[in-house]
Structure 1
Amino acid sequence: MGRQFRKGKGKLGQRVDSHWKEIVRENAQWELFYKTQGIIPENEFEIFKKTCQENLPLTFRITGNKNHAKEISKLFINNHIPKLSNIDNAKPFAFPWYPNNLGFQIDLPKSEIKKNPNYSSTQQFLVIETEVGNISRQEAVSMIPPIVLDVKSNHKVLDMCAAPGSKTSQLVESLHSGNEQPTGFVMANDSDYRRSHMLVHQVKRFNSPNFIVVNHDAQLFPKIKLNNEWLKFDRILCDVPCTGDATMRKNVTVWKDWKIGNSLGLHPLQLNILLRGLQLLKKGGRLVYSTCSMNPLENEAVIATALKKFNGQVKIIDCKNLLPGLITHPGLTNWEVFGKDMKIKDKLDDSHGMLKSLFVPDDVENLGLENCMRVYPHDQNTGGFFITVLEKIDDVKENGKRVNEEEEEATKKQKVEVDATQPAPATEQPQTTEQPQQPPKELKHVKQNKTKLP
């Protein structure tokens, strides 16, 4: 909703001729782009568009340790769901795909729940439990990546673009889901130091000794030495900056701001972050790449390029079995690349100056992109999302060198002295090198904005 004020004279503190102007939920370029891609079947496009123009329903998940969370869940199910079920259109339910029935949706916008006296007791419950940290108001689809990452208590976990921290909170909860104190940790990173402080605030209610916040450009996340060994992560979440065009039900400014140039500009940044994440992943480890965008230039094009660069040493794994009851669609194996002039570009024509990584690769049928997961708003009254689960088969790159060997060579070039003859102290802190591995030559470092896109 955009706010506009007209100039005029009035008393101090008094607004004169002010009015609210609704943002028009239409964008001709967005509609042309997605109709041309054929992502949504022609007979479904109007309902898809209509759903995108509506406000999101209220969703939340219950946080904390298992026993406490079950008590809060039982309280909501017994005291509030029966009341809401008797009111037209509310339709409260637990997500069938969220573990232990701890994720819920009420099929009404939060603004209506606030205003309608019939929902006053539920609204009060949500406010109180949110304030004390028992409930996290989180969009349904954004709960998916931490679930398919499948974090265990002994895992070393990196969240590369963590702020504002709702997914990070899920990762910390998963780490502590067992009965014993976890031996792993969650390292949450964000490139903006102010948003990094937000992470501390978001997760501090867990009082976890296994959580650390760092502040680095994810494209150049430094190598870390722990106990005299280079640290490799068991699990990595790459929820990268994106155009957020699948969040237009919540962020209505997307309707007026959407243009194809945003995706073209973010593509190399997203690819750099993913490549760095795969370098930091250990053999047998799992990385989840996700965006709140439906644009294949930010999704399948990025995944396809990363798979080719790792030359068969990384594969997509199918994790739909972890999400029972969630309607998902397979990843795309064909898409069109638009230029800023909204004209389709030819892969074989070099005159347009577009990155080759934007286009469908020749061997796309061998990459397994159909195992990527797409979630569309009109299927289950949600936002849109893209999720891909990647597994590292081996620490080998295209040139045959193992990653550890390359890192050792890079360390020598950077003149970082490591005295291997002296044993590491028992309380040794992680060490980072000043200059990590650089991105591939054809993809130069992309300067990030200090505010994450929606």
Structure 2
Amino acid sequence: MNLPEQFLTKMKQLLHEEYDVFIRSFGEEKSQALRVNNLKIETDDFLQKSPFCLEQIPWVETGFFFHGKDRPGKHPFHEAGLYYIQEPSAMVVGEFVDPKPGEKVLDLCAAPGGKTTHLASKMNGEGFLLSNEIQPARAKILSQNVERMGIKNAVVTNETPDRLAERFPSFFDRILVDAPCSGEGMFRKDEEAREHWSLGNVEICHVRQVNILKSAAAMLKPGGRLVYSTCTFSPEENEGTISSFLEQHPYFEIEEVQTYKDFSHGRKEWVTNSADDIEKSIRLWPHKMKGEGHFIAVLKKLEGDITPCLKQPQAKVDSIILKHYKEFAMQSLNIVPTGKFVSFNDQLYLLPDEMLSLEKLKVVRPGWHLGTCKKNRFEPSHALAVSLKSADAKKSWNLSVGSEEIISYLRGETIQASGEKGWYLIEVDGHSIGWGKLAGNCMKNHYPKGLRWMGNNILSKSS
């Protein structure tokens, strides 16, 4: 593996006697892992059904290493949102954010969605999760992952941090800033990160990170928790960024949190004008644990003014769309979702209760997508399907994970079936995966075209 020369020189100066074993870790096989989505399945239940060879990750109860021979990325359980494939060190971040059901939580730099889906699982569908991504293409990927994991209480935005700070002053109980960084911790798995690295980019990232943290600080309630993380080794972007932030925001402090035995701590001697308690921050090293490089600082806001937020105006909803939705729901669902509805063109969404005004925000997903009104009829969304339990639907059709029928369904093909006509919640081993509509003896396939398996996909194929 070709590593940048300036990076090697820098790390040798920092690590001294640890340098050789650190460099050798780049030649070792990377660890792979998945995290069980407790919104859809309990961990013990998943372990009983899992076809993979799994090993518990010590620092996260729902996380498991999988072996190289396993390819869970194109398994029906993945499409049903039963787990998220996530780098094992990255799971530490969500554990330290530790959101509680009912809280208001912000993931400020959220794409592609691994940490957002971790936070949502911990919130158990209660409270409000705002997931933001500044890059439009990545925001769409974030929204897709929110949908696949069956998350109901999240809004996805495509905004700058300072614009959100204007809208949500002193609003959130917990905020995650998984900051854009130089990506040194991903060198082992990402060739592009190695190619784009430079000392100049490290400094650019540091400046950007301090500005993002400034916006995050304005959005956090007094007493709230702000977790800052990067996937880089660079002291300038880690200890340096946190020290600069604390110098400008003295009403924050670094919290000491319980750590796993193989975790390390921040290094005061690596930056000038270091914060007094920088050793309370956390470093994850690939030569000390099974995972890539990360830095994490858990911060607490001690004081601050409570600035009134904009009141939530009445959400605008098309009465015709709402009428057709209610007709569908009464015919097809045992539990009819209700609350604050909003419609955009022919799309119907259910807003989280705590969401403020959507006006003048770039919103990718304004809440739980319920469906679309087409030709005076309501067509339920894929997001609605994958967030439902079997008992929530009046009619369901279960497919075995090892059957030809589930492969046919994921390819978008029709399925032979018999029963009462209408909408059916399609399941794989009892877990929702999409919609089908039965007419005659033919179950018409409503699995989204953009998600359908192509060619000769098999259960073990990776994504």
Matched, 1:332 2:267: yes
Matched, 1:380 2:289: yes
Of 354, 357, 360 in structure 1, the residue corresponding to residue 272 of structure 2 is 360
**Corresponding residue for 2:9?**
32
CA distance in 2, matches of 1:105, 1:308: 39
384-393 vs 192-201, greater mean Cα deviation: 192-201
CA distance in 2, matches of 1:390, 1:217: 22
Aligned to 2:287, the other structure's residue is in SS state helix
Q: CA deviation at 1:80?
A: 5.0
**Corresponding residue for 1:97?**
59
**Contact 1:62–1:73, Cα closer than 8 Å, also in 2:** no
Q: Letter of the aligned partner of 2:6 in structure 1?
A: Q
**Corresponding residue for 2:322?**
none
Return the TM-score normalized by structure 1: 0.65
Q: CA deviation at 1:65?
A: 3.2
Q: Letter of the aligned partner of 2:35 in structure 1?
A: R
**Corresponding residue for 2:143?**
200
Change (3 A) 1:80 1:403: closer
CA distance in 2, matches of 1:132, 1:256: 35
Matched, 1:72 2:46: yes
299-308 vs 61-70, greater mean Cα deviation: 61-70
Instruction: Compare the two structures and name the one with the higher strand fraction.
Output: 2
Identity %: 28
Matched, 1:260 2:220: no
Matched, 1:152 2:100: yes
**Corresponding residue for 1:214?**
157
CA distance in 2, matches of 1:29, 1:251: 18
**Corresponding residue for 2:301?**
392
Bigger RCO of structures 1 and 2 (CA < 8 A, at least 6 apart): 1
**Corresponding residue for 1:250?**
189
> Gapped runs of 5+ residues in structure 2?
316-339, 341-352, 362-463
> Gapped runs of 5+ residues in structure 1?
1-23, 82-91, 114-121, 336-358, 396-401, 409-417, 436-454
Return the TM-score normalized by structure 2: 0.64
Aligned to 2:175, the other structure's residue is in SS state strand
Matched, 1:279 2:218: yes
CA distance in 2, matches of 1:434, 1:48: 48
Give the superposed CA RMSD: 2.8
Matched, 1:309 2:309: no
Q: Within 5 Å, which residues of 2 pair with 1:315-326?
A: 315-319=253-257, 321=258, 323-325=259-261
**Contact 2:170–2:306, Cα closer than 8 Å, also in 1:** no
**Contact 1:223–1:433, Cα closer than 8 Å, also in 2:** no
Aligned to 1:431, the other structure's residue is in SS state coil
CA distance in 2, matches of 1:144, 1:57: 14
Change (3 A) 1:96 1:128: same
CA distance in 2, matches of 1:193, 1:27: 30
Number of equivalenced pairs:
324
CA distance in 2, matches of 1:381, 1:125: 20
Change (3 A) 1:64 1:31: same
**Contact 1:55–1:250, Cα closer than 8 Å, also in 2:** no
Q: Letter of the aligned partner of 1:334 in structure 2?
A: E
Q: Which string of whole-angstrom CA distances, capped at 9 and with x for unpartnered residues, describes residues 150-177 of structure 1?
A: 100111001101111011001111110x
Change (3 A) 1:328 1:219: farther
**Corresponding residue for 1:140?**
88
**Corresponding residue for 1:240?**
179
**Contact 2:108–2:133, Cα closer than 8 Å, also in 1:** yes
**Corresponding residue for 2:357?**
431
**Contact 1:222–1:432, Cα closer than 8 Å, also in 2:** no
Matched, 1:131 2:79: yes
Q: CA deviation at 1:202?
A: 0.2
Q: CA deviation at 1:220?
A: 4.0
CA distance in 2, matches of 1:124, 1:244: 25
